[in-house]
C-alpha cells in the first residue's frame, strides 16, 4: 500500500475545510478519511505521535464540523458516510494513549461528539455513543461529557431532549445506538 504522510493527510483535511463547497468532493473526503482511519489504526507509533504533535486532532475536528454543517443539505436517506468515517477516525485516534488524552482534554472535540449525536444517522449515533461511553469511564470523563452537553446544547435541563426525541421516533435506531 501507498504510505501517506501525516502532513499530507492533515493538508487534505485542512484543504477540505477551506473549500468553498464542501459537498462537491465527498468522494475525495471519504477517501482521505478512510486513509486517515486506517493509518491511525495500523500506523507505527512514530506516525501516530507525528499526527498528534501536528495538530491532527484539530484538523479532523474542523473537517467534522464542516460536514455537520453540510449534513442538512444532504439526503437523510443516505446517512453520512463522511461523518461515519470521522467518528471511526476519532475512535482509531483514541486507541492511541496520547490521542485519548487529547480528546479528553479538548472541550471542542467533546462538544463535537455531542453534536454528532444529533445527526439522524444511526451508524453515526452508534459510533459516537461508543466514543462517549469510553470517555465516561475516564476519571473526569463524566463531568467533561456533561459540560460538553451543556455547551453544545444549551437548553438547561432539556439539553438531552433532541437525543431522546430522535431515539423515541426511531426505535430501530435507538436499539442500534444502544448496541442491542
Taken in order of first residue, the domains within the chain and their CATH numbers are 6-178 (1.25.10.10)
pTM of the complete model beyond 0.85: no
In this structure, are residues 110 and 61 in contact, taking their beta carbons and an 8 Å threshold? no
Task: Please name which of 5, 156, 26 lies closest in space to residue 78, comparing C-alpha atoms.
Answer: 26
What pLDDT sits at residue 75? 53
Q: Which grid coordinates are listed for 49?
A: 505521535
SS3 state of residue 121 = coil
Q: Would you give the end-to-end CA distance of the chain in angstroms?
A: 36
| Residue 97: all three cell numbers together | 494513549
What cell numbers appear for 159 in the block? 439539553
92-128, pLDDT tens digit by residue? 999 999 999 999 999 999 999 988 888 878 888 888 8
Answer yes or no: is pLDDT of 154 > 50. Answer: yes
At a CB cut-off of 8 Å and minimum separation 6, what does 66 contact? 16, 17, 22
List pLDDT tens digits, range 9-65: 888 888 755 554 444 467 888 899 999 999 999 999 999 999 999 999 999 999 999
Amino acid at each position: 500500500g501507498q504510505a501517506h504522510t501525516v502532513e499530507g493527510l492533515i493538508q487534505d483535511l485542512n484543504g477540505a475545510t477551506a473549500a468553498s463547497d464542501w459537498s462537491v468532493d465527498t468522494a475525495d473526503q471519504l477517501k482521505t478519511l478512510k486513509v486517515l482511519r486506517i493509518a491511525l489504526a495500523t500506523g507505527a507509533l512514530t506516525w501516530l505521535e507525528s499526527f498528534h504533535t501536528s495538530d491532527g486532532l484539530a484538523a479532523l475536528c474542523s473537517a467534522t464540523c464542516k460536514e455537520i454543517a453540510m449534513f442538512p443539505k444532504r439526503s437523510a436517506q443516505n446517512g453520512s458516510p463522511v461523518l461515519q468515517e470521522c467518528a471511526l477516525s476519532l475512535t482509531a485516534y483514541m486507541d492511541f494513549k496520547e490521542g485519548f488524552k487529547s480528546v479528553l482534554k479538548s472541550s471542542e472535540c467533546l462538544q463535537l461528539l455531542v453534536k454528532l449525536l444529533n445527526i439522524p444517522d444511526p451508524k453515526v449515533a452508534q459510533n459516537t455513543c461508543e466514543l462517549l461511553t469510553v470517555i465516561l469511564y475516564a476519571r473526569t470523563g463524566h463531568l467533561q461529557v456533561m459540560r460538553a452537553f451543556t455547551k453544545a446544547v444549551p437548553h438547561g435541563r432539556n439539553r438531552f431532549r433532541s437525543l431522546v426525541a430522535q431515539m423515541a421516533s426511531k426505535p430501530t435506531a435507538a436499539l442500534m445506538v444502544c448496541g442491542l
